[in-house]
Homo-oligomer: A and B are copies of this chain.
Amino acid sequence: MSKVILLHKRPVGKPTAQDFEFIDEETPKAAEGQVLLKTLYVSVDPYLRGRMRDVESYVEPFALNEPIQSFIIAEIVESKHPGFTVGEFVTGHLDWKELQVSGGEGLSKVDEKAADLSAYLGVLGMTGLTAYVGLTEIGRPKAGETLLVSGAAGAVGSVVGQVGKLLGCTVIGIAGTDDKIASLKSTFGFDEGINYKTTPDMASAIGKAAPQGVDIYFDNVGGDISDAAFEHINKFGRVPLCGTIATYNDTDTNTGPRLQWRMIQKRILMQGFLLNDFPEKFEAASTQLTQWVKEGKLIYSETIVHGFDQIPQAFIDLFDGKNEGKMIVKI
């Protein structure tokens, strides 16, 4: 038998364990042209919350009583597909199942000798590429500029900050615990860190941390923190919008200061993006990130939770900021 996790109910507000359902299904068998995949690592990501709503978003909603999907690292345990051999490792957008079959579409092989397998879900996977492409294509950092990153201790944010440093920026990170702030500076080389949970006046704290103002605000969170950041964005500032985790669980309309007038005064560019908007950039980005990882210039952190049964809780814990770096479940 093989365990499967279904979306049982659409979450209202913060997801709870009751929104998920575990079932057992017969162990699947690879038909001709298929492989059987054993799940090794599962990525849980804030964006999945959006797919749990029954509204139009950038990807179609998950269906009720169907398996949830995310990026997964799996091992080929049976192959009737000429392109794959038993013992190889692959990554792809797969179901939350212990075992599943695939015709090979959308699977990419990963090299377990070049990096730890889990890195392909993080710094060398979607989150690392998202950080690199969003920062370089929309943020367009120049040496000497000031980069502010929210969600800085998260999987995307920690890469954004380090890439900013590698490109010559002064980097300020916002995160929600003193431990995270300490590691932003000691592990990831950020210049300044601000704990938003213990800072009563974020706008003045940002002003103090960025005396020259903010040229790039890489926004992973939205909400009040972004309102405060906007008060310090310089002329011709750029704001790549990567996520709004602060508002994903909101059930009513979310309001804040309107930004248009300030954006005209300062000629600010704000742009929402998804990694998939930049397919032509993946190869170069991946090559650069892999090189920096090998050279030890790009550090990544992971919060690894163990056990298939822990997948829903690991996902829920994202919204309480319990992860540091990429949240991954190891099976």
Chain A residues proximal to chain B, CB less than 8 Å: 50, 56-58, 219, 222-223, 226, 236, 241-244, 247-248, 253-274, 277
Contact = CB atoms under 8 A, between A and B. Distances in A.
A265 B58 contact: yes
A54 B211 CA distance: 22
Given A258-B247, A260-B226, A271 B265 contact: no
A62 to B, nearest CB: 16
10 contacts: A58-B264, A241-B260, A244-B258, A247-B260, A253-B257, A254-B257, A255-B258, A259-B259, A260-B272, A263-B270
Nearest to A223: B258
A201 to B, nearest CB: 16
A57 B266 CA distance: 8
A272 B277 contact: no
A267 B263 contact: no
B255 A266 contact: no
Nearest to A271: B269
A241 B254 contact: no
A277 B267 contact: yes
| Most B Cβ at <10 Å: residue of A50, A58, A271 | A271
Contacts of A57: 265
B274 A222 contact: no
| A interface: dominant SS | mixed
A263 B257 contact: no
B258 A266 contact: no
Contact of A263 (B241, B254, B268): B241
Contacts of A255: 255-258
B277 A264 contact: no
Contacts of A241: 260, 263-264
B277 A273 contact: no
A62 B72 CA distance: 60
A254 B257 CA distance: 6
A222 B269 contact: no
| Most B Cβ at <10 Å: residue of A58, A219, A267, A277 | A267
A219 B50 CA distance: 28
Nearest to A227: B258
Contacts of A273: 264, 267
B260 A222 contact: yes
Contacts of A259: 259
A256 B259 CA distance: 9
Contacts of A254: 257-258, 261
A204 B254 CA distance: 20
Contacts of A265: 50, 56-58, 272
Contacts of A226: 258, 260
Nearest to A254: B258
A199 B57 CA distance: 28
